[in-house]
């Protein structure tokens, strides 16, 4: 596990004063990632999204490391090119340092628009870490639904009202899709547990090949909760098994954090305005369906974890 005393000695590589919303989880993800990556030079690639527009408003930047702004759809492709150039320079003897290459994208730029370039980078085997800061919608452009948006969530393009009751579909299981690429390291994490996340970043950067981390990153604007509740909302996601914390190392699954007491999904949904319509009596069946989906996946994940304890891939 990560050593807090040692981590506290690492210099800050992202400044304060950025323009992310108060209570935004993404800024915490960026800072913790850079702390975990300390020890080697770091190159960051960022897809268009909340983090990019809030931390690199010309002529200002919040980054104390090289930051490459990519289009919405090609953060992984840009990181692939950087990694290839880095390997070429090392072969030519023009560079002798080891570096960490980290690409970021929100769920829009990862689950949807950037999926093709992400899949290609993982399949080709570039040594890089891709991190999805997953706030479950296109928050930067008006809270439109994405394929990461959970069932029942109210968004501007899948609104709750007379015609519908939020998004009809379940969210895409991108973490398992990345695991299906048979890359060395895949993980799912959440805010509110710095040790789990930083440990996963360190393991991902040490992996012999591409790595992917999907971290649930609450958005106080799109999720509609009080800014000071970001960490509590994130922990409820884990405690209700809405967002389990696990990793897949070379095909072997391991659950990293078991809730002390598995809470009903309503505990996660209640603090968020995007789900308030689900608590109307006529929508009780939707809550039941959501709970069943979560229970079914949790049981599947526990079976994979049992196989993992025997050293067997799922």
Could you report the per-residue pLDDT of 280-308, keeping only the tens digit for each? Answer: 999 999 999 999 999 999 999 999 999 99
User: Is the predicted pLDDT of residue 4 greater than 80, yes or no?
Assistant: no
Per-residue pLDDT, 41: 94
Residues 37-66: tens digit of each pLDDT? 988 999 999 999 999 999 999 999 999 999
Q: What is the DSSP letter of 150?
A: P
Contact 25, 230 (CB under 8 A): yes
Residues 126-161: tens digit of each pLDDT? 999 999 999 999 999 999 999 999 999 999 999 999
Return the percentage of the chain with pLDDT > 90, whole number.
94
How high does pLDDT run on average in the chain? 96
Report the distance separating Cα 212 and Cα 130, nearest Å. Answer: 5
Report domain extents, the chain. Answer: 4-309
Contact 191, 215 (CB under 8 A): yes
Per-residue pLDDT, 265: 98
What is the Cα gyration radius of the chain?
A: 19
Mean local confidence (pLDDT), 262-269: 98
Per-residue pLDDT, 8: 81
Give the SS3 label for residue 279.
helix
**Omega before residue 44 within 30° of 0, cis:** no
CA 279 to chain centre: 28
Tokens representing residue 104 in the block: 């970021």
Mean local confidence (pLDDT), 179-203: 97
Q: What is the DSSP letter of 102?
A: E
Mark 200-209 as b/e (b = at least 16 C-beta within 10 Å): bbbbbbebee
User: Is the predicted pLDDT of residue 172 greater than 80, yes or no?
Assistant: yes
Asked: is 4-309 a CATH 3.40.50.970 domain? The reply is yes
Per-residue pLDDT, 7: 81
Task: Kindly state the helix (H) or strand (E) to which residue 212 belongs, with its residue range.
Answer: strand 211-216
H helices then E strands: how many in the chain?
11, 8
Report the distance separating Cα 7 and Cα 10, nearest Å. Answer: 5
Give the number of other Cβ atoms within 10 Å of residue 281's Cβ.
5
Q: What is the DSSP letter of 221?
A: T
Per-residue pLDDT, 301: 98
User: Is the predicted pLDDT of residue 76 greater than 90, yes or no?
Assistant: yes
């Amino acid at each position: 596990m990560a050593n807090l005393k040692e981590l506290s000695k690492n210099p800050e590589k992202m400044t304060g004063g950025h323009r992310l919303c108060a209570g935004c989880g993404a800024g915490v993800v960026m800072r913790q990632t850079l702390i975990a990556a300390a020890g080697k030079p770091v190159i960051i690639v960022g897809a268009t999204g909340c983090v990019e527009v809030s931390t690199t408003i010309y002529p200002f930047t919040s980054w104390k490391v090289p930051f490459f702004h990519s289009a919405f759809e090609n953060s992984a492709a840009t990181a692939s090119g950087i990694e290839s150039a880095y390997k070429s320079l090392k072969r030519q003897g023009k560079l002798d340092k080891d570096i960490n290459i980290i690409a970021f994208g929100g769920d829009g730029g990862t689950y949807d628009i950037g999926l093709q370039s992400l899949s290609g980078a993982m399949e080709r085997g570039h040594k890089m870490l891709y991190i999805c800061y997953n706030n479950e919608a296109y928050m930067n452009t008006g809270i439109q639904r994405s394929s990461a948006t959970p069932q029942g969530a109210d968004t501007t393009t899948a609104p709750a009202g007379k015609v519908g009751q939020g998004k009809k579909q379940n969210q895409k299981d991108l973490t398992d899709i990345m695991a299906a690429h048979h890359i060395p390291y895949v993980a799912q994490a959440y805010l509110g547990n710095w040790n789990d996340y930083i440990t996963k970043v360190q393991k991902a950067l040490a992996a012999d090949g591409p790595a992917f981390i999907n971290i649930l990153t609450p958005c106080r604007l799109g999720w509609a909760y009080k800014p000071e509740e970001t960490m509590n909302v994130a922990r409820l996601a884990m405690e209700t098994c809405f967002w389990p914390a696990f990793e897949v190392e070379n095909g072997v699954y391991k659950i990293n954090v078991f809730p002390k007491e598995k809470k009903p999904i309503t505990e996660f949904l209640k603090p968020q305005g995007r789900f308030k319509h689900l608590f109307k009596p006529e929508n009780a069946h939707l809550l039941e369906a959501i709970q069943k989906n979560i229970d079914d996946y949790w049981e599947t994940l526990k079976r994979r974890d049992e196989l993992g304890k025997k050293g067997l891939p799922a």
